[in-house]
Amino acid sequence: MHELVAYSKKPLIGIIMGSSSDSKVMHSAAVILDEFSVKHEDQIVSAHRTPTRLSDYAKHAEIEGFRVIIAGAGGSAHLPGMVASHTIVPVIGVPIMVYNDKGHSDKFKFSAFGGLDSLLSISEMPTGSPVVTVGVNKAANAGLYAIKILANEFPDLKKKLKKYKEEQHKSIIRESDELRRMGLARFTSKKFKK
């Protein structure tokens, strides 16, 4: 009971993102954390547009006792690296493929480099200031990875993660049975029809 209270009553994970437009990707991290009843605190912090807020946030994360920070950013994605340089709280970066639908033109909605820009900006940190990164737009994996880190402290989360894996296994078997029963052509058109 004590353990449950410890990870479900007080935010132990901080989720930050560089812009409101990132929330469309970052919400998948929140969905996973909610599924495991892990409390998180969510904020917008821009490395470039609010640099002083960024260093204040790093202090806040330490005062609050966050175990992990999940930081998502697109384009020149300096948020994860910069927040990591201000704190010893481990940071998981989420590279975001910028999709800007705030503008009027249909032509330039996607980042010119399709997310590779963000991925490299996050992963190529200098020795001594590490950040780990998930794949482009894989915010759900960042949520899961944060839970794995927390599970070292809370055995109940370990049990939940094992159950999650078993469910994953069962759902693939279910799909495979369906595929075998229906045949590939029918299965695909049923599953992916618009």
Rounded Cα–Cα distance for residues 65 and 133 (Å): 22
Structure tokens at 23: 């929330």
| Least distance between ligand RP5 and beta carbon 127 (Å) | 25
* Residue 19 or 133 having the CB closest to ligand RP5: 19
Are 133 and 81 in contact, with CB atoms under 8 Å apart? no
Are 40 and 26 in contact, with CB atoms under 8 Å apart? no
Chain centre distance of CA 113: 20
* Residue 32 or 82 having the CB closest to ligand RP5: 82
| Least distance between ligand RP5 and beta carbon 74 (Å) | 3
| Least distance between ligand RP5 and beta carbon 97 (Å) | 9
| Least distance between ligand RP5 and beta carbon 118 (Å) | 7
| Least distance between ligand RP5 and beta carbon 65 (Å) | 26
Name residue 170's amino acid: K
* Residue 11 or 18 having the CB closest to ligand RP5: 18
* Residue 96 or 142 having the CB closest to ligand RP5: 96
* Residue 22 or 69 having the CB closest to ligand RP5: 22
Residues at the contact surface with ligand RP5, assessed by CB under 6 A: 18-19, 21-22, 46, 73-75, 96, 98, 100, 102
